Amino acid sequence: MKFVDQAKIKVTSGKGGHGCISFRREAFVPMGGPDGGDGGKGGDVIIRADESLNTLLDCQYQQLYRAKKGADGMGKNKTGRSADDLIINVPPGTQIYDAASAELIADLDESNSSAVVAKGGRGGQGNARFATSRNQAPRKAQPGGPAVELELRLELKLIADVGLVGLPNSGKSTLISCVSNARPKIADYPFTTKVPGLGVVRAADGRDFVMADIPGLIEGAHEGAGMGDLFLRHIERTRILLHLVDPGPLVEPPAIERFRVIMSELDSYSPELSSRQMIVVLTKMDITENRPAAEELSKFIEAQNLPVLRISAISGEGVRELLLQVSKMLKV
């Protein structure tokens, strides 16, 4: 399924039904009086978070949503039927913005949470409502309330406990495929991962958490370089970042510079991201020449007051310890 994390839609609520002007017409009732019923309420447009969804693809294909009109009132004090609400299902983590003002209308950050984005018009009152002792035969009724029309921008931010960040080919997809039910594409060329992926991980202490694999960042990602700027938003909700670095001495640029690039991109996108709880994970420890380089890189990173762990997702070295450390941090 295609991953879509932004969409624009137009929503229109239902108009309210008109009130009715009617008078009783019965044999032997010469002065029956007004009996016009009220109109029904128009349908609301409601956006609801559905945990079975993980993309805004449906909203990209269908961009116009219109709720139904309330029925008009009738004689004999019959109230028109109110229209059903129109419910639009989106993935949890969807933020709803007014496209014109850019105002945040709602943040559906929990499953089954919902927001009424366009309220249906009220039903108009029938002439029976306007009868008084001075005006016992009113010939007026209230029209139904108008519909509300809005253009909305939907933006999905994945809900995950842990986010994986790093340069392309740093081992993010390999790690998430080894520790979770996610099955991302893995290959020995950059930008193999083209969309964010989620996986459920169980640590050795029995704690489950959700891990997000973010497509590889490159220098200038916060300004639009590569694909990272499209997906950086997906780590805004994460509690912990795992910064994966390939310490390989034959990879350019040098490992310390690779570490600095990602830290700079996180800080440029949002200073809060670069100061979030983070573990720097040195990957590919199954490669012999990476070990001396990892020793030197560890000393540099520890001097930045950041915890460092070394792993090999291929051999499993250090992976159990990494997951236990993450689980411990999530308990706090």
Based on the fold, state whether residues 115 and 62 are members of the same structural domain: yes
Q: Note the pLDDT of residue 169.
A: 83
Q: What is the mean pLDDT of residues 55-71?
A: 95
Q: Which domain holds residue 2?
A: 1-156
Q: What is the mean pLDDT of residues 150-168?
A: 92
For the stretch 198-249, pLDDT in tens is 888 999 999 999 998 887 665 554 454 444 556 778 888 899 999 999 999 8
Are 231 and 222 in contact by the 8 Å Cβ rule? The answer is no
Based on the fold, state whether residues 60 and 178 are members of the same structural domain: no
Q: What is the mean pLDDT of residues 278-288?
A: 95
Based on the fold, state whether residues 302 and 187 are members of the same structural domain: yes
Are 95 and 155 in contact by the 8 Å Cβ rule? The answer is yes
In this prediction, residue 286 has a pLDDT band, given cuts at 50, 70 and 90, of very high
Based on the fold, state whether residues 255 and 278 are members of the same structural domain: yes
In this prediction, residue 192 has a pLDDT band, given cuts at 50, 70 and 90, of very low
Based on the fold, state whether residues 114 and 217 are members of the same structural domain: no
Based on the fold, state whether residues 223 and 262 are members of the same structural domain: yes
Average pLDDT score, the chain = 88
Are 7 and 154 in contact by the 8 Å Cβ rule? The answer is yes
Q: Note the pLDDT of residue 271.
A: 86
State the Cα–Cα distance between residues 137 and 32, nearest whole angstrom: 9
Based on the fold, state whether residues 88 and 74 are members of the same structural domain: yes
State the Cα–Cα distance between residues 35 and 300, nearest whole angstrom: 84
Based on the fold, state whether residues 175 and 26 are members of the same structural domain: no
Given 156, 187, 218, which residue is the final one in a domain?
A: 156
Given 156, 186, 220, which residue is the final one in a domain?
A: 156
Based on the fold, state whether residues 219 and 289 are members of the same structural domain: yes
Going by C-alpha positions, the residue among 306, 190, 295 that lies closest to residue 240 is 306
Instruction: Please state the pTM of the whole predicted model.
Output: 0.79
State the Cα–Cα distance between residues 35 and 56, nearest whole angstrom: 48
Based on the fold, state whether residues 181 and 321 are members of the same structural domain: yes
Question: Which of 12-16, 58-62, 133-137 has maximum average pLDDT?
Answer: 12-16
Q: Note the pLDDT of residue 229.
A: 55
Q: What is the CATH number of the domain that holds 8?
A: 2.70.210.12
In this prediction, residue 7 has a pLDDT band, given cuts at 50, 70 and 90, of very high
**What percentage of the chain has pLDDT greater than the value 70?**
89
Given 156, 191, 218, which residue is the final one in a domain?
A: 156
Based on the fold, state whether residues 229 and 309 are members of the same structural domain: yes
Whether the predicted pLDDT of 313 surpasses 80: yes
Domain count, the chain: 2
Q: What is the CATH number of the domain that holds 190?
A: 3.40.50.300
Based on the fold, state whether residues 134 and 216 are members of the same structural domain: no
Choose the weakest-confidence range: 69-83, 99-113, 160-174: 160-174
State the Cα–Cα distance between residues 276 and 164, nearest whole angstrom: 13
Q: Note the pLDDT of residue 1.
A: 52
Whether the predicted pLDDT of 191 surpasses 50: no
